[in-house]
Structure 1
Amino acid sequence: MRFVIVTGMSGAGKSTALKMLEDIGYFCVDNLPLLLIRKFAELTYKQSIDVNNIALGVDIRSGQALSELEHVLEDLIASGFQYEILFLDASDSVLVKRYKETRRNHPLALEGRVDQGIEEERNKLNFLKKQADYIIDTSQLLTRELKSELDNIFVKNEGYNNLFITVLSFGFKYGIPSDADLVFDVRFLPNPYYIDELKPKTGNEQAIQDYVMGFEVAGQFLNKLEDMIRFLIPNYIAEGKNQLVIAIGCTGGKHRSVTLANKLFERLTTNKEFGLKVEHRDIQKDAIRKSI
């Protein structure tokens, strides 16, 4: 039996994660009073409750009692009860945006600013994040991608190193992505934009990929980029980083950057030590601007 404590920042997707775990057969309980966790564990491990796997939601709503959780968890270990901690996180800017979009009040900022509530919450939950077995940063994740990550951990039982990588193409004329950790400029490559039959196509199409990668310098750049990223990844994992955005930019974000982002993504998929996705931020913006 797996006993999973699901916790994390308000707005990071804890409720969604609990629902997904429920869908794959977990018995889920949200916001159980902390003093009842020990008794609940006893009942489940003794099979007094007929369940196979348990997911228990714990978060800042526990209020002042949250400070007692560390002692509760120590007591569980001392009593021989095994548990795992899943921590859902997201960047401050994403959390603020989510709160503004839903018009909800942060539980620690009922009469103040959301960012102040988030800062206070991070401080209160820091001990849980340090103990977490799995940290999933949902800043860049779609719902289906979060489900895939949970399936990998709790259904397929695959190894998980808490790092999720987004390879992101973009156009410099639309601005550098604010959440980018690493930014690479591929505007030195020949531009398909100036070839009439290639101009309307994108880097998702074979004709553009053949053109861009047909230049030796493109292959050299990709090899050096892959080598550097593979060097950095284990060091980021060791440092505790859980979200890495690799941004590759060209002028409009439609041809060269899309091609190189796709190629880097293909090469990194051979490694199962981290989550991975590719995203093209500006691939359709040129067509949208022309239609206006």
Structure 2
Amino acid sequence: MKIIIITGMSGAGKSQAVKVFEDLGYYVVDNLPPNLMGKFVDVLSNSENKYAQVALVMDIRSGRFFDTIEESIKDLEAKNVDFEILFLDAEDDEIVNRFKETRRVHPLSYRERLLSGIEKERKLLAPIRERADYIIDTTGLPLRKFQEKIKKRYVREESKETLTINVLSFGFKYGVPVDADLIFDVRFIENPFYIDELRSLSGLDQPVKDFVLGNDITKVFLEKVLDLLVFLVPHYLEEGKKQLIVGIGCTGGRHRSVAITEEIALRMRHNGCPATSFHRDCEEDGRERSLRL
């Protein structure tokens, strides 16, 4: 298991880095208090799910807990954990402009000038910056170039040829997506629509997720589908395929297919496969729509 510790200045691009690492198949945890890092790594190491790539974001949002980051890093070294520190930086003027554009408040400048907060943060982060294995200065750096820098360094050699998996939920009543490579019909699973307290919710809401994913039939279905996808990925790659669209359909595309789509995408990412979820027919108001392609 490889751990990437992402830290750096507020406004330097950590939120964008999170998106890139997620797309690369990393299991990402944002704003993890450093004092919990050792225990968290132990939990992942002993988990039934094998996490090959993990990215942990730690910064001054943790407050006083951030003071323990050096001690926590020494703990990882003592355990012979394979880790690397990525530090994101930017010039003061750039950070000021970004905070003004987003109208957000710097974590250390609630009662002071923005520049004062930035100065304090630089002093606090100086030791960890010195320990960083890789520093990216995002001053004037276009988003695409920033993404390329991360990908160039953190895409594993054996993963450079990857198959991107797009998992798409849909409702059969609105038509089958014509661009799907694989279609799975989940209408055999108990329908939350007939549960009064769940009808107005969607598969993105936790109560519906718990209902659908807690079903024993769903659990068996997920295991079989995931086994199939893991089996297919290398064979599709051998044929030069770069993208796989997996359609998950239920009656209306709002409850069962949505919850299952999210879970499949999540588990495939944990297996090191870039996977993204999309929901074609999941609208909050649940109104009828015309036939879709």
So what's the TM-score if we normalise by structure 2? 0.52
Superimposed CA distance per residue, residues 71-109 of structure 1 (whole angstroms, 9 cap, x where no aligned partner)? 111111012212100000000010011111111111100
Find the residue that maps to 1:54 and give its secondary structure: strand
Q: Per-residue deviation at 1:47?
A: 4.5
| CA–CA distance in structure 2, aligned partners of residues 156 and 141 of structure 1 | 24
Deviation of the 1:44 alpha carbon: 2.4
Give the conservation status (yes or no) of the 8 Å contact 1:43–1:49: no
Deviations 1:235-262 (A, max 9, x none): xxxxxxxxxxxxxxxxxxxxxxxxxxxx
Matches within 5 A, 1:86-125: 86-125=86-125
Letter matched to residue 29 of structure 2: V
Corresponding position of 1:160: none
Shift in Å, 1:122: 0.5
Letter in 2 for 1:132: A
Amino acid at match of 1:89: D
On the 8 A contact 1:8/1:89 being kept in 2, the answer is yes
Contact conserved, 2:28 with 2:54, CA < 8 A, in 1?
yes
> For the residues of structure 1 that align with 2:58 and 2:115, how far apart are their CA atoms?
21
Deviations 1:39-93 (A, max 9, x none): 1111223444432200000001011111111111111101221210000000001
Any unmatched runs of 5+ in structure 2? 158-293
Aligned 8 A contact 2:33 2:66 in 1: no
Paired amino acid for 2:107:
P
Shift of 1:15: 1.0
Provide closer, same or farther for how the CA distance between residues 70 and 105 of structure 1 changes in structure 2, counting only shifts above 3 A: same
Inter-partner Cα distance in structure 2 for 1:153 and 1:140 = 20
Taking the aligned partners of 2:42 and 2:117, their CA distance within structure 1 comes to: 35
Q: Give CA deviations for 1:157-209 in whole Å, capped at 9, x if unaligned.
A: 6xxxxxxxxxxxxxxxxxxxxxxxxxxxxxxxxxxxxxxxxxxxxxxxxxxxx
Residue matched to 2:30: 30
RMSD: 1.3
**1:210-230, CA deviations, whole angstroms, 9 ceiling, x for partnerless residues?**
xxxxxxxxxxxxxxxxxxxxx
> The residue matched to 1:150 in structure 2 has which SS?
helix
Q: With structure 1 as the length reference, what TM-score do the two structures score?
A: 0.52
Deviation at 1:36, TM superposition (A): 1.6
RCO (CA 8 Å, sep 6+): is it higher in 1 or 2?
2
| Aligned: 1:148 with 2:151 | no
1:171-182 aligned at under 5 Å gives the runs none
Structure 1 unaligned residues grouped into runs of 5+: 158-292
Residue 58 of structure 2 corresponds to residue 58 of structure 1: yes
Q: Which amino acid aligns with 1:15?
A: S
**What does 1:42-81 align with in structure 2 at a 5 Å threshold?**
42-81=42-81
What fraction of aligned residue pairs are identical, expressed as a percent? Answer: 45
Native 8 Å contact 1:5 1:84 kept in 2? yes
1:1-292 aligned at under 5 Å gives the runs 1-155=1-155
Give how far 1:156 is off. Answer: 5.8
Q: For this pair of structures, how many residues does the alignment match?
A: 157
